[in-house]
Amino acid sequence: MVVRLPSSSEFSLEEEMRKAVESVFEAVRRHHEFYRFALPMIASENVTSLSVRKLLASDFSHRYAEGDVGKRFYQGCEFIDEVESLALELAKRLFGAEHVNVKPTSGVNANIAAIFALTNVGDRIMALSVPDGGHISHSKFSAPSIRGLKVDYLPFNAEEMNIDVERMRQEIEEKKPRMIILGASLFLFPHPVREAVEAISEADANASVLYDGSHVLGLIAGKQFQDPLREGADVLVSSTHKTFPGPQGAILLWNNDELSERLENAVFPGTVSNHHLHHVAGLAVALAEMLAFGEAYASQTVKNAKALARKLHEEGFDVLCKHKGFTASHQVAVDVSSLGGGSKIASLLESAHIIVNKNMLPWDKSPENPSGIRIGVQELTRIGMKEREMAEIAVFMRRVAIDCEPPENVKRDVIEFRRDFQNVHFSFDDGDAYAFFDELKG
């Protein structure tokens, strides 16, 4: 729905702008109410604890702190330095990394910084294509193009939903890329990091492996996925708000001292001026939460994904990779082409308050109406749902997508189902995930 301002002839400018402000608050209130009684399963989203939300609304959001801890270009950063230095130490401890940078403001920003640091104009890189699950920032349409890089796509085995290791070895030997980008947007199983490191080291001693862990950082932190730094990746870049339940932002982690100057300079002053200080404060709390509760949260997330995939299969959905247990991450991929395609099914499910996204599968040519939907269970896990709830959700989805039951009927059941799941778990406050905006009801 498009909101239109009232005619200025009807009101004074002050009254007109007051109504504009009211419309913003009303839209946010309605959004909050919608999500309070929906099933959010976008694989790239999560919900933060109340402690993190309070910090995002703090005075840190007003301030500048260009530079590094203890070496700022502005005064007034004493307490900002305390928080950022704590965030760095907590991240080093959580991920076993010798070097950390928390300044990037998004995962794409972090990718751009790492790509600029570790490549030169005209270099060749290899990454997954978007239909094979790669993120747009790995493609020739985004960061690599800005850097002037040649992009070749890694060979992919659609049946296994993973990189074809032997063909990857052959193509690395033949093309000798300066960088391999691993990690994906559709990310069901660990990527062959050790094999990529071995192959690229033999092809070019100066080449590097970048691992984009944006989708699986929380699983890495909780020791339920692969550990890319221990497997030899040169740098782990990631957003901090998908399986990792922090504020929107990003992080870089690496262990090689020789890369530090290039990576640090590529972030500041290369691609970030002032970073988002309130996000750093929120990230520090999220890091502490993951050190305390991360293994339990990540373990339950993977259990939930497997349970949902299994039940969806039993209910008649074409869930990918049955022969591999469907998934090893927070994600489930479903081919709904026989049901009308990803656009249709995602839209119908949204009408029933079930929020997933349409998603390209390896055989798709167009992103407009792809074959698949992608489902993530990390946020449902964060609000306390377990395997039993996954089974009920699969039935809701079947009723909409296969039985063609009116979404409005299913929505009523979803709203009632969701009433018992309002609190954030795996945090120090265990508060109502939506109470922070209750004041907007007025």
Residues 124 and 272 both lie in one domain:
yes
Q: What is the pLDDT of residue 436?
A: 60
Note whether 219 and 355 are same-domain residues. Answer: no
The domain that holds 386 is classified in CATH as: 3.90.1150.10
Show which of 287, 318, 338 is a domain's final residue. 287
- Flag whether 304 is in a domain: yes
Instruction: Measure the CA–CA gap between 229 and 257, rounded to whole angstroms.
Output: 14
Q: How far apart are the first and last CA of the chain?
A: 22
Whether 74 is covered by a domain: the verdict is yes
Q: Note the pLDDT tens digit of each residue in 369-390.
A: 899 999 999 999 999 999 999 9
How far apart CA 228 and CA 212 sit, in angstroms, is: 9
- Report the pLDDT value the prediction gives residue 11, as an integer from 0 to 100: 75
pLDDT at residue 228 in the model: 98
Please check whether residue 14 lies inside any domain of the structure.
no
Q: Give the mean pLDDT of 33-60.
A: 96
Residue 211: pLDDT over 80 = yes
- pLDDT tens digits, 158-199: 999 999 999 999 999 999 999 999 999 999 999 999 999 999
Which residues are bridge partners to 319 per DSSP?
A: 334
Number of domains in the chain: 2
Nearest-10 Cα torsion for 236, 237, 242, 244: 50
In this prediction, residue 431 has a pLDDT band, given cuts at 50, 70 and 90, of confident
- Residue closest to 161 by CA, chosen among 133, 127, 195: 133
| Residue 40 placed within a domain | no
Residues 272, 152 share a domain: yes
The whole-number average pLDDT for the span 65-81 is 96
Q: What is the mean pLDDT of residues 97-111?
A: 96
Judge if 187 and 246 occupy the same domain. Answer: yes
Q: Report whether pLDDT(326) > 70.
A: yes
pLDDT higher than threshold 80 for residue 62: yes
Instruction: Categorize the per-residue pLDDT at 1 as very low, low, confident or very high, splitting at 50, 70 and 90.
Output: low
- Do both 327 and 430 map to the same domain? yes
Looking at the structure, do residues 139 and 247 belong to the same domain, yes or no?
yes
Model confidence pLDDT, tens digit, residues 238-261:
999 999 999 999 999 999 999 999
- 71-72 and 67-68: which strand pairing? antiparallel
**Domain enclosing residue 321, as ranges:** 294-441
Is 30 inside any structural domain? no
- Give domain status of residue 29, yes or no: no
Is the pLDDT at 129 greater than 60? The verdict is: yes
Compute φ and ψ for 179, nearest 5 degrees. Answer: -150, 145
% of the chain beyond a pLDDT of 90: 90
pLDDT for position 141: 81
In a shared domain, residues 319 and 277: no
Q: Is the pLDDT of residue 441 over 60?
A: no
Residue 319: CB atoms within 10 Å: 22
In this prediction, residue 256 carries a pLDDT of 97
- Beta strands 250-254; 235-239: pairing state: antiparallel
pLDDT for position 136: 84
> Are residues 274 and 195 located together in one domain of the fold?
yes
Answer for the pair 137, 161: CB distance below 8 angstroms, yes or no. no
The CATH number of the domain holding residue 205 is 3.40.640.10
Q: What is the mean pLDDT of residues 263-277?
A: 95
Residue-level pLDDT at 140: 80
In this predicted structure, the answer to whether residue 434 has a pLDDT above a threshold of 80 is: no
Count how many residues are written for the chain: 442
Q: Is the pLDDT of residue 442 over 80?
A: no
Q: What is the pLDDT of residues 282-313, one digit of tens each?
A: 999 999 999 999 999 999 999 999 999 999 99
Q: Token pair of 224, please?
A: 């339920």
pLDDT band (50, 70, 90) for residue 229: very high
Domain final residue pick, 287, 320, 337: 287
Which of 287, 320, 339 lies at the terminal end of a domain, its last residue? 287
Q: Is 4 a domain residue?
A: no
Claim to verify: residue 272 and residue 335 sit in the same structural domain: no
- Mean pLDDT over 325-352 rounds to 98
Can you read off the two tokens belonging to residue 257?
Answer: 């001292």
Same-domain status, 115 and 184: yes
DSSP assignment, residue 415? H
Residues 95 and 119 grouped into a single domain: yes
Do 185 and 65 lie in one domain? The reply is yes
Q: Quick one: pLDDT at residue 187? A: 98
CB 321 within 8 A of CB 161: yes
Rounded Cα–Cα distance for residues 228 and 231 (Å): 5
Does the structure show a pLDDT above 70 at 3? no
Decide: pTM greater than 0.75: yes
Asked whether 229 and 97 are in contact (CB, 8 A), the reply is yes
Model confidence at 439, pLDDT cuts 50, 70, 90, reads low
Q: Is residue 1 part of a domain?
A: no
